[in-house]
């Protein structure tokens, strides 16, 4: 049986929203809005204490097993360029992990603004797909790519599975990567 972790002394447990379906990640935008990812591909926003009825975006994802919409990060210059990054499992043209940049227009995505920065393949794995996405103190994008249900992938330099990728925010590889 699942049990919630006890709330540490000095903290209070408060529900931010209800009605979310299989949330996978949460990130607070620089302006204070809370972005929540749903496994099936919707990006939802909690604003001023309320879950907005209209999703920020709905991406076409493969949500089989542990697949789906898995990671989100905001560009360091989000207030100016309105860029955010997502990590998800795309179903077409073949099942693959994908890192994309989206552009916000207020509480919704700019239609057609998705720019695919990087993608790979996941073959038949339905778990161990990674998905954590962060912008580091160096301004670079860091993406955790799972081992694709093959533990030896993490030890192999011949593939991207089981690695943390370091990318420029335009998807190129930084010149100073090891």
pLDDT in tens, the chain (178 residues): 567 789 999 999 888 888 999 999 999 999 999 999 999 999 999 999 999 999 999 999 999 999 999 999 999 999 999 999 999 999 988 888 999 999 999 999 999 999 999 988 766 778 888 889 999 999 999 999 988 888 888 899 888 888 999 999 999 999 998 7
Distance CA 39, CA 71 (A): 10
pLDDT at 149: 87
pTM score of the predicted model: 0.91
Q: Are strands 130-135 and 83-90 parallel, antiparallel or unpaired?
A: unpaired
Tokens of 56: 């920020």
pLDDT at 83: 98
Distance CA 119, CA 129 (A): 12
pLDDT at 123: 66
- The closest alpha carbon to 68, from 36, 40, 93, belongs to 40
pLDDT at 110: 98
pLDDT at 125: 76
């Amino acid at each position: 049986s699942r049990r919630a972790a006890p709330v540490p002394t000095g903290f209070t447990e408060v529900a931010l929203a209800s009605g979310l379906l299989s949330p996978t990640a949460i990130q607070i935008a620089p302006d204070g809005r809370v972005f929540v990812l749903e496994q099936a591909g919707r990006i939802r926003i909690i604003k001023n204490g309320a879950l907005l009825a209209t999703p920020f975006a709905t991406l076409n994802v493969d949500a089989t097993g542990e697949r789906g919409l898995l990671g989100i990060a905001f560009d360091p210059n989000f207030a100016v360029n309105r860029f955010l990054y997502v990590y998800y499992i795309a179903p077409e043209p073949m099942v693959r992990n994908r890192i994309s940049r989206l552009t916000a227009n207020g509480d919704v995505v700019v239609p057609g603004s998705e720019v695919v920065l990087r993608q790979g393949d996941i073959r038949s794995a339905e778990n161990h797909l990674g998905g954590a996405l962060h912008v580091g103190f160096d301004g670079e994008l860091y993406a955790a790519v799972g081992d694709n249900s093959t533990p030896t992938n993490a030890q192999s330099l011949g593939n991207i599975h089981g690695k943390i990728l370091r990318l420029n925010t335009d998807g190129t590889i930084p010149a100073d990567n090891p």
